[in-house]
């Protein structure tokens, strides 16, 4: 299991975070993985309504609070051009989120990217910036909760490219974490993030109509 659902309110950036954001902006590109067929949802989950807005729009707005550069990864770009953002397709299509991370790293002009899935409605910009600040000296920064990792709200550096490509070139659909043994990974323990009031629901993702109903219960 790579992506765990949890449950808690979203922090917003304050004026005092402006300097941090400007520094991070030089090093990071935000990457939103728009995803594939949404077969379990029965509809394109990126475009479903979450409260008064599309789910993808909600994620994009929150990512833009943290990162000045933002790109979308999708193989169906025409549906998302309305956002006015760069839209990049997979170089190795059909290989799941790992190919999206790879495409984001190839497209970004910065040494790091911050990756989030489009089905995570409670993105916390402050937590994203906190993880970004842990990046120097590492190729991956990822939250760990016991035996589980949260690789779709995480930092990836350019040092990840070669290990990821070595997996994708084999033609296999691999888990995101399969290349971690080949790079420098900094694990941030979930239990150490209690200062972030909304951390319990940041990692909640929506794959099914039941997930959507449950997430809407946490909508403020």
Annotated binding residue 105: no
Tally DSSP H helices, then E strands, for the chain.
7, 10
Taken as a whole, the chain contains a residue count of 220
pLDDT of residue 38: 63
Strands 70-73 and 28-33: parallel
Question: 208: how many CB neighbours lie within 10 A of its CB?
Answer: 14
Per-domain residue ranges of the chain: 15-216
Segment 48-55 long-range contacts (CB within 8 Å, at least 24 positions apart):
48/206, 48/212, 50/121, 50/206, 50/212, 50/215, 50/216, 50/219, 51/216, 51/219, 55/118, 55/119, 55/121, 55/206
Strand partners, 144: 149, 189
CATH class of the 15-216 domain in this structure: alpha beta
Annotated binding residue 141: no
Annotated binding residue 45: yes
Lowest-pLDDT choice from 87-91, 104-108, 143-147, 210-214: 210-214
Annotated binding residue 195: no
Give the CA diameter of the chain.
47
pLDDT of residue 58: 95
pLDDT of residue 36: 62
Tens digit of each residue's pLDDT (9 = 90 or more) over 19-68: 555 577 689 999 999 976 665 666 788 999 888 899 999 999 999 999 99
pTM score, two decimals?
Answer: 0.87
């Amino acid at each position: 299991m790579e992506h765990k659902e949890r449950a808690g309110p979203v922090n917003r950036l304050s004026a005092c975070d402006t300097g941090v954001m400007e520094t991070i902006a030089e090093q990071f590109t935000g990457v939103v993985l728009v995803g594939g067929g949404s077969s379990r949802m029965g509809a394109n989950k990126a475009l479903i309504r979450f409260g008064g807005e599309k789910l993808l729009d909600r994620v994009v707005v929150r990512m833009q609070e943290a990162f000045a550069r933002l790109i979308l990864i999708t193989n169906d770009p025409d549906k998302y051009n309305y956002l006015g953002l760069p839209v990049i397709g997979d170089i190795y299509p059909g290989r799941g989120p790992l190919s999206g991370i790879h495409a984001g790293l190839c497209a970004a002009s910065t040494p790091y990217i911050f990756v989030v899935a489009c089905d995570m409605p409670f993105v916390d910009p402050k937590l994203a910036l906190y993880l970004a600040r842990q990046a120097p000296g590492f190729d991956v920064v990822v939250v760990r909760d016991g035996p589980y990792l949260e690789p779709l709200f995480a930092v990836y550096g350019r040092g990840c490219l070669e290990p990821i490509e070595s997996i994708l070139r084999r033609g296999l659909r691999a888990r995101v974490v399969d290349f971690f043994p080949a790079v420098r990974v900094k694990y941030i323990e979930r239990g150490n993030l209690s200062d972030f009031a909304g951390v319990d629901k940041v990692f909640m993702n929506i794959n099914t109509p039941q997930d959507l109903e449950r997430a809407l219960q946490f909508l403020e």
